[in-house]
Amino acid sequence: MSLRTRLILWFTGTITVILVIFSVTLLWLQRRVDIATLDEEMKNDVVTVTGVLATETREIGPGTAAVAGMLDELRLPDRGIAVFDAAGTLLGAQWNGLDHTDARRHEQMVTAAGVPYRIVVIASLKEVAHETAMLRRAVIVAMPIALVLTAIGGVIAANQANDLLARLNSALAQQRRFMADASHELRTPVSVVRTAADVTLSKATRSEDEYRDTMRIVGEQATRLSRMVEDMFLLARADAGQRHVMPAEFYLDEVVLECVRSTQLLAQSKGVTITSEVAADVQFSGDETLARQLVTNLLDNAIRYAPRDGHVWVSLVKDGASLHLSVSDDGPGVSLADRERIFDRFVKLDPGRTVDGGAGLGLSIARWVAEAHGGTLQLTESGAGRTTFLATLPYAHPAG
């Protein structure tokens, strides 16, 4: 049985039990209230009978004549009245056709004009039974309607709960994958640092060149660790909704050219040539820090996966209300099955695309930055000799 079905059954069953308990309680309380009201009315009837009987007793004297005069004068068609003396002798009665077996009885000792009497008043329970029956019929009619509405509400609630659970499961699964991948990625540079240190310290003395090589390895891995931690921290803040775009006016063309200059050293180490074609005076409203990271990540990705002595092209073009930033390399390309997967976190492709220190977070961050600015990042071209990533951004990004 699916979770959705269990939720619907649980919700409907719970509400059904509540409705049944409520209905039974309502019927029981309604009868109790009606009888209590009837008892109060009969007490008032005794007061009325006592008043009339006192008048008749003063005028005629105590006994059957006074009772007969009271019964003749007092008309209570929906009540039965009987009057007894102190010894219990019936002095007079008027039952008005009421059935004693289906009646509520109230009896009370009173004193009328100084004479003690015992007055008995009975009232039919038919009205109470009628109201109870009417309420029961109303409950019987309303219950199926309520159950249908409850079932509909259960379906709606189950759908919403399933959507929430699905989102929570997805978020938890993503978090577990993130932690597992992060642990795996962090383990490598830590292991390299430990191995380099252990090897260097395994002898009492080492040459200066050996120490320098060890420190170079430690420095490279520390830089790699630092970048990975910063990237993971940025993604964690983005997932938690704590990293927002901080809009400001700046020239995007200047940012692109600065990023090209800053990545020249990495490109030169591989003999990669960067060719840029950037429109001038492109004023942009957005987060300059994030925009710089977007451009840097795309350039870094292109340089890493370009072949030795290869080529990287960068362009920034204004197109009406949009800006198009494209970064291309002449590497081996990305297979069709991996063209969306490469934007996932910690994804690194093996054949043809080198893995020289990247954690597989660059493209994921770059896409988030583009989308945070109301734009998109897509792999628009991929094949032997040309792989192009295109970031499309609104030319006038709204502040806020």
pLDDT per position as a tens digit, 69-88: 998 888 787 889 999 998 89
**CA–CA dist 164, 233 (Å, integer):** 26
Residue 195 in any domain: the answer is no
Q: What is the mean pLDDT of residues 169-187?
A: 65
Within-domain flag for 261 = yes
Helical segments of the chain, H only: 3-60, 64-73, 126-201, 208-239, 252-262, 264-269, 288-305, 362-372
Is residue 39 in some structural domain? yes
Domain membership of residue 292 (yes or no) is yes
Q: Which residues of 129-159 are buried (b: 16+ CB within 10 A; e: fewer)?
A: eeebeebeeebeeeeeebeeebbeebeebbe
383 and 256 inside one domain: yes
Kindly report the average pLDDT of the chain as a whole number.
83
Phi-psi region of 323 (alpha: psi -120 to 50; beta: other; left: phi over 0): beta
Q: Which of 74, 106, 130 is the last residue of a domain?
A: 130
Taking residues 166-190, report their average pLDDT.
Answer: 67
Given 80, 108, 130, the domain boundary residue is: 130
Let me know whether 264 and 126 are in one domain. Answer: no
Give the whole-angstrom CA distance, residue 390 versus residue 179.
29
User: Region 387-392: what's the mean pLDDT?
Assistant: 94
- Is 0.85 surpassed by the pTM of this model? no
120 forms beta bridges with 82, 107
Burial of 261 (0-12, 13-18, 19+ CB in 10 A): exposed
- Write out pLDDT tens, residues 227-281: 767 777 777 777 667 677 888 899 999 999 999 998 888 899 889 999 999 999 9
Indicate whether 124 and 251 sit together in one domain: no
Q: What's the pLDDT score for residue 351?
A: 40
Band (pLDDT 50/70/90 cuts) for residue 51 is very high
Residue 214 CB-half CA count within 13 A: 16
- Please, is 279 exposed, middle or buried when counting C-beta atoms within 10 Å of its C-beta (0-12, 13-18, 19+)? middle
At 207 the three-state DSSP class reads coil
Q: Which of 98, 130, 162 is the last residue of a domain?
A: 130
Domain range enclosing 13:
3-130
3-state secondary structure of 39: helix
Q: Classify residue 312: in a domain, yes or no.
A: yes
Strand, coil or helix: 90: strand
DSSP reduced 3-state for 87: coil
Close Cβ partners of 47 (under 8 Å, ≥ 6 residues apart): none
Which residues, 6 or more positions from 393, have their beta carbon under 8 angstroms from its beta carbon? 284, 286, 322, 323, 325, 370, 373, 374, 375
CATH number at residue 38: 3.30.450
Q: Is residue 196 part of a domain?
A: no
Is beta strand 273-278 parallel, antiparallel or unpaired with respect to 311-319? parallel
Domain count along the chain: 2
Backbone dihedral angles phi then psi of residue 211, each to the nearest 5 degrees: -65, -40
The CATH number covering residue 253 comes to 3.30.565.10
pLDDT category at 184 given cuts 50, 70, 90 is low
- Considering the chain, what percentage of its residues have pLDDT values greater than 70? 88
Say how far apart CA 84 and CA 92 lie, in whole Å.
Answer: 7
Within-domain flag for 335: yes
User: Reduced to 3 states, what is the DSSP secondary structure of residue 321?
Assistant: coil
87 part of a folded domain:
yes
Q: What is the pLDDT of residue 354?
A: 41
Give ∠ CA 223-229-235 in degrees, rounded to 5: 135
**Residue 254 sits in the same domain as residue 389:** yes
Per DSSP, helices labelled H in 310-379 are 362-372
